[in-house]
Amino acid sequence: MRAFVITAPGEAQVRDVPEPVAAPGEVVVDVCRAGVCGTDVEFFTGGMAYLHDGQAAFPMRIGHEWMGVVSAVGDGVDRGWVGRRVTGDTMLGCGVCARCRSGRHHVCANRSEIGVRAGRPGALADRVAVPAWALHALPDAVDDVLGALVEPGGNALRAVRGADLHEGDRALVIGPGTIGLLAAMFARAAGAEVHLLGIDPGSLAFARSLGFAGAWRRDELPDLPWDGVIDASTAPAMPATALELVEPGRRVVYIGIAGTPSTVDARAFALKDVTAVGVLGASAGLDGAIEAYASGSVDPRVLVGATVPLEGVASVLAGERPAGVGPGPKLHVQIAEEPTGR
């Protein structure tokens, strides 16, 4: 089968690789559509921290935002999965440690991550093997584009939940990229008044086109009380800015990860009585994202600026924007129009 393989920083190609086999407890999914995100770019450039601390190594097969159709099941798996449209959890815990047993499999010390960690092959390929327990069925109301947006949506939903936003609250989302805009959409669906803080005029204009009139640069940001602040940026200075801006007694959520350490004055947390929440992974938000997409309360398809074939992934990761690309920040990869059947 075809798979996108990164062999070294800046070096990648579509290769023929052995097809996955459904081991006991696993399924094989024919991938229809997948997303490309900042983590994939970091792997391609060689900057991803996992490459430097031994949690990942080249050659590697990326792709952790995906949807497809189950084509084969291993021993012990209900054959009713065959033919079903699905997406899945990226974070695959060991299942036996205390963290996994307490529902924290996404931070299991021995976890693998599809297309990210511990050599688990990703979904930028014709097929991918996934543990059956990690599958999430997609209803008919969630089309392929939405299906491939469930994983980033689950992350964003967890950020909004972490901010403890309620109807009538005023939220500030820092960073109007894919995750930031998704968080803004989920916060708006929860009834919050949502503002965004960014740098790039084009990104801010796109946010306004989505109905977020309050999209600001730092020197324009109004002096308002922010009941929850979500930092979805990758700027090292923004965690401190988020803490500075959030209302005392409320919550600041950190979901963006900078390439270098950030400095935050811990005294401010105590003196403002602020709760800080970190978000890693979509696991606990996947079902909620699917439900929001199915109901139409959140529809992020406009965020997909372009769709490329598998052979076009390397140029996208290298920073090239496809011809005719729209203003949306997310890029998708079309791998199969229809399930191949097995």
Instruction: Say if residue 326 is exposed, middle or buried (CB neighbours under 10 Å; 0-12, 13-18, 19+).
Output: middle
Residue 341 pLDDT exceeds 70: no
Q: Do domains 2-149+300-334 and 155-278 have the same CATH topology?
A: no
Summarize pLDDT for 96-149 with one digit per residue, the tens.
999 999 999 999 999 999 999 999 999 999 999 999 999 999 999 999 999 999
Residue extents of the structural domains in the chain: 2-149+300-334, 155-278
As a CATH number, domain 155-278 is 3.40.50.720
Summarize pLDDT for 154-172 with one digit per residue, the tens.
999 999 999 999 999 999 9
Average pLDDT score over residue span 197-219: 98
As a CATH number, domain 2-149+300-334 is 3.90.180.10
Summarize pLDDT for 260-288 with one digit per residue, the tens.
999 999 999 999 999 999 999 999 999 99
Per-residue pLDDT at 244: 98
| Cα–Cα–Cα angle for 145, 115, 187, rounded to 5 degrees | 45
Structure tokens given for 217: 């640069």
What gap in Å lies between CA 49 and CA 269, rounded to an integer?
27
Residue 27 pLDDT exceeds 90: yes
Taking Cα atoms as reference points, which of 311, 310, 308, 313 lies closest to residue 326? 308
Count the neighbouring beta carbons within 10 Å of the beta carbon of residue 47.
Answer: 12
